[in-house]
Every structure is written in C-alpha cells, then in structure tokens.
Structure 1
C-alpha cells in the first residue's frame, strides 16, 4: 500500500465500508510509513472525526494501536516537528460535537504541553495491599519477600515472583476461618484461590477468602471492584456477595464494581453466564451484558472491554462524565477531588495507561477545552 491507497482506505473507513484485509493492509502500511505520510493521514483522520456525529465515536482499537506504534517511534526519534503536528492532530480530535476524544499515547510527555494540571508530580498506583490472616497476623504484601508467606492449617499461601498471591491446599482436611485481602487507594493485587479461580482486585477494594469452601458452594465477599476468572465446577457454584446482592456462577469471566460512591453495583459478563440476585429478584445476563443493581436490577448491553481495561493496566472511558472519571482517578492516584461550580456533563471517550502520572491524564482531559484542573497538594480541583 502507498499513501494514495491509504487515503482511499480512509474514505472507506469513514463510510464504514471496508474489509478486514484492507484494514490489516492499512495497519501494516502505517507501521512503516514515513513521518510526512503518516502526518498527512492523521490530519485526514482528524477531519473525519471532527465531522462525525457524537454518537458514532467508537474508537477502532486496532487502528489506535497502529497509530500508537507510529507515535512510539516518533518518541524515540525525539522529532519535535513530528510532535508538534501530532499535538495539532490530537487537538482537532479531542473536541468533536461536544465529546472529548483522545488516544492513549505517550507523546504528550513532551515539554510543549504546559497546561494547568502540570504543576505537581502525583504518581500512579502500584501492586500493593494487605493480607489479614485468620490468626490475626497482618502482612504488608508489597514489603513481603517472594515465596511462602504463611501456613494456616492445610493451606499454604505464597507470594509469587510476579507479585501475586497463590493459595494451595495440602491434604483434604477442612480449615476454618478466612483471610481478607485488602488494597488501599493507589493499590491493586491479584490472587489465585485454592480452586484455581483467579481474582484481580482494583484499588480501595477487599475480598474475604475462606480457607475452605463449604461442600455446597464457593462463596467470597467483595467490597470495591474485582474481576473474576472462575474455575468451572458444575457441582459447586461460585458466589460473590456484595452487601445484600449476590452473583452466582459455575465457571465464567466477569467483573463486579461495587464501590459505595458509585450510583449502582455493576456486574459485567465477558464469558459464560451469571445470575444476579437482589431483594428476592433474579436476572440472568449473557456475555456483553451488564446488570446494574440499585433497589432493582436493570440489564443493558455494554462494551465489556471498556469495563475491564483497568485489569490490563488502562483507563478506558466510554462517554463518561467528568465525575465518573474523577472517582476512578481518586481511587487510583489516592487523591481528593473537589469542584468549582457545576461539573460539566460532557461525555469523554478514550484510553490512557494507568501507569501515567496524573498530570498526563489531566492534561489529556484539558485538551477537550471543556474542563480544567488545578493541583493543590493531593487535592485535584476541577473547573470549567
């Protein structure tokens, strides 16, 4: 493919009339194209998004990844002309019919981007947490050495080389009691339970882990947010308990977001099927659906990858308002948030790595021109 062919593909892309083969060919070309060719293509893409209706802004993940690859090369070359043109392109892209749209790229680290948010260094969260044993002993996980952490009856608890917890049962005797795994604001952790179920725990969250599951079911208690890949066992369902709500599965992949400051408890299904129970009511959801629980249970279709990107190390915003976004940033960066005036209700769409400093995330949001920030110690002030 040459640049003329790439321009033709963009027209097809804008019309939604292209094949997977054409798409793949375009991505291959983008990966090896010159700065000048890529700059021209990006400008054309900006024009496409600028005139596209707001409700059609669903970023093509592979397309964004291809662009990110080219931007990473630009970062290595430190070509300031390239940076300047890309920043101009992004500025066009972020204000689209009142919706902020931004790509998760590293090029905004360039000194040319000097916005209000870039005042103070607030680093992202890391793998850290606490394990409260049934014996009462408390282990600070990020300070503990790898290897065997504790023995409770026939249960061995290990910290693996990649900084995760793993429970292994030796023998068949039942062990009473439970452990509690907790993450603070600015922390996350992973654990593999005795049945092989893998749990990702987001910031400001906890799970209560029984040392032995009862014969009828595998039951854990959750606060905050967790993603579960449950080992299938048709004779022993797996139940996640949140307050007075329960999620029951046999073996599946799902996410539960149950923070107290969120408007609802959301269970999102990626694989298998789950049943959600609340106040005597029950709803079953299938992959691609989310159950939103308040006093009632409402089921809707969602982009599940947006919901679980946090476990892959990214923030993913899909038409989210600023208050929803700031709740996520508050938990991950361990900061307070306050507002000057009434918060904007504009929707923001985009993806950013959770490894970014908070100033980089805020700078991206400021590029939409609909929101601005000030950092005061560990407090983020949100302004129009």
Structure 2
C-alpha cells in the first residue's frame, strides 16, 4: 500500500491506521510507528487524522449521538438548512459499543472536522512561521530569511525543505556529472534515487553522501554543532578535517560534530577537535522525530536551557532575545509545540519555569 499520496481523510478510512489509533493490534502499531519515523513529511496528515479519530471515537459515545452533535455544529457555524442525517445500521457498532469508522460514516462526520481545520488555518496568527516565503537568489541558489521556510524541488526530482535563515547552492553541472550542493543552515532532503550520480551535501564541518534517501542536515555557522540525521536509506558522512574520517549511518541514526569551545579558544591541536558522536535520533512520546519536527512546523524542546534555545527561537520567529537576568538563561525546558506564535510559546514555557517577558517590536525582554 502506497500511503505517500494519502490525505488525512484517506488515513482515517484505512483499517490498518484505525487499528493503530485504537491500539488493539501490535503489528499495525509497529507498522505505523515505523512509518511515522520514516515519513516525517506526512506528520501533519497523520496528526490531523489522529485528532479527527479522537474527535469521533475518543469519548466512546454512541455514533448516533456523535452524528447529531456534528450535525448541530454545522447548523450553528454555517447556518445551513437542516438536512436529514442517515441512520446507521447495527453493523457499524461492535459488541463492545466501540464503533468502526467505515468510509460512508467517516465522510459524513469529516465534513465538519475538515471545515474546522480550514477555519483554524484561516484564523492562525500572522506571526507564525511562513512556510511559503523564501528567496531564489539565482537559478542555482535558494535562501530563506528568519521566520521563513520554503520547500523546493530540483530538476532531478529531489525535494528539499529549507528551515529558517538557510541558504543552499547547487554546484555547477548539477544532475549531469554530479549532484552536489552547499548548505548553510538546516534542510530536510528527500533525494531522488540515482546510483549513477550520487547526491552530496557539503557543509563547513561535514559532507554527506547518499544515493537516494531521506535525511536532515543542520549546519548553522553560528552554532557549535553540525548534525546529519538519517530517516530512511543510507548515508556516508565525512569530516572536513585532516582525518577525513568516514561514518556510515543506518536509519534513525545521526552524527553530531561539535567543536569544543575551550579547545578552540586555546588553539589545542586539531586532532583534539572536533568531537564526533554517532547516536540515535530523539523520539518524543508521540513518536515524533525531534530532529525533523520543524519540517511540519513543529518545535520540540528537549531539556534545553534558555540560552541553548536562544538562537533557535530567534531564527524561528525573527526576534531578538534580551536577557535581563543571567539566572533566566539557565532555566531548562521540555515542550512540544506546533504552529504557535512566539507569545504562546513563551506562555507555555512560563508554566515550566516562571519568568517575565515583554515584547517590544522584534525584541523579547526576559527577566525573573
């Protein structure tokens, strides 16, 4: 079954996905957990389908009651003329009272749910990340500014999602004798398979070579860490130092190259830096890959201090954080956010470690 073209409605009418939502079949649960990891680009459709499933079945009320409630919601919101709601036969209800959502029943109720999602999207705050903006500096150079994201497709069919404040350049002869790009910032790649012409991402500290796969590379020049996270397929990561060490990654693994600030300051021998670590990607309790959550406008904060979050938040929202108290810099946070404006993000963080903030233009002042 090819789920790559599925919408949230399609997922909701798939028996395997419904079994996963209900958690009553281990094989289906394992399949969809793996699918979520391997296809981060489908997170939004899967999340919407899960939300709609919970709306329809989470409270275990009779289907007839749900239909009546949804029908009333349509009338209240759209002021439409009352239409009769078809009655459901007993075949839609199991012996335990938990109903199965077949295509006809699902479509009747999804009209309201999908309408709700469209209303929510239209009413989203204007200061969310803009996923459509970005600048094409030339035929071979693409760039996003702070608080912008962009998805592009190269001539070979490879698609690339650019995170905020990112620049990617195609090298001369792309898709002829070579497929090489230079990256400054962060991007998620879905590389079209072509073993005759390998795909190579060049960054300041790390080169990543692939044939056809899905992976994320984060290489901001103002950060100590450069990371390559593999979602599906295989990649070879090579250090851009004298050692030219190679690392082969398996799916769900990542490589982190980190400069030691103290070592760099003291100019210790190059062999002592950088530090290299191969580990697993981070999963939330919802099986979301932390390293690629941004692709679907998510923001995963995993036990990070305010000062560690500073550059991420400044890029994501196009603001400047000004700390009035050094103690606030040390506050730690863990949170899962999606499509949230900066003021809502700060309010959520306040519930973990309280602090005060004032937003003046593009500057956020933080204090105890």
Query: TM tier, shorter chain?
Result: 0.5 to 0.7
The worse-fitting range, judged by mean Cα deviation, of 371-380 and 224-233 is: 371-380
Of residues 282, 296, 317 in structure 2, which corresponds to 1:303? 282
| Alpha-carbon distance in 1 for matches of 2:196, 2:161 | 24
Question: Is 1:198 paired with 2:226?
Answer: no
What is the aligned partner in structure 2 of residue 362 from structure 1?
A: 346
Q: Is this contact kept in 2: 1:366–1:373, CA < 8 A?
A: no
Deviation at 1:345, TM superposition (A): 3.8
Q: Deviations over 1:194-232 (max 9, x none)?
A: 111110001100100246326553100011100000111
What is the aligned partner in structure 2 of residue 124 from structure 1?
A: 128
| Alpha-carbon distance in 1 for matches of 2:25, 2:161 | 37
Deviation at 1:276, TM superposition (A): 1.1
1:348-359 to structure 2, matched below 5 A, reads 348-354=333-339, 356-359=340-343
What is the aligned partner in structure 2 of residue 258 from structure 1?
A: 219
Q: Is this contact kept in 1: 2:199–2:210, CA < 8 A?
A: yes
Of residues 188, 192, 196 in structure 2, which corresponds to 1:231? 192
What is the aligned partner in structure 1 of residue 24 from structure 2?
A: 21
Deviation at 1:371, TM superposition (A): 3.6
Per residue, is there more helix in 1 or in 2? 2
Q: Is this contact kept in 1: 2:282–2:290, CA < 8 A?
A: yes
What is the aligned partner in structure 2 of residue 316 from structure 1?
A: 300
RCO comparison, higher one (Cα < 8 Å, 6+): 1
| Alpha-carbon distance in 2 for matches of 1:370, 1:285 | 40
| Alpha-carbon distance in 1 for matches of 2:126, 2:367 | 19
- What stretches of structure 1 of length at least 5 have no aligned partner? 1-18, 35-71, 77-105, 110-120, 135-178
| Alpha-carbon distance in 1 for matches of 2:282, 2:276 | 19
1:79-98 to structure 2, matched below 5 A, reads none
| Alpha-carbon distance in 2 for matches of 1:324, 1:224 | 17
What is the aligned partner in structure 2 of residue 207 from structure 1?
A: 168
- What stretches of structure 2 of length at least 5 have no aligned partner? 1-21, 30-52, 63-111, 259-273, 284-288
Deviation at 1:252, TM superposition (A): 0.7
Of residues 332, 335, 354 in structure 1, which corresponds to 2:316? 332
Normalising by structure 2, we get a TM-score of 0.58
| Alpha-carbon distance in 1 for matches of 2:187, 2:195 | 22
Normalising by structure 1, we get a TM-score of 0.56
| Alpha-carbon distance in 2 for matches of 1:235, 1:129 | 31
SS in 1 for 2:294: helix
What is the aligned partner in structure 2 of residue 289 from structure 1?
A: 253
What is the aligned partner in structure 1 of residue 357 from structure 2?
A: 373
CA change 1:247–1:362 in 2 (3 A) is: same
| Structure 1 ranges of 4+ moved more than 6 A | none
Deviation at 1:351, TM superposition (A): 1.7
CA change 1:250–1:322 in 2 (3 A) is: same
Per residue, is there more strand in 1 or in 2? 1
| Alpha-carbon distance in 1 for matches of 2:165, 2:59 | 39
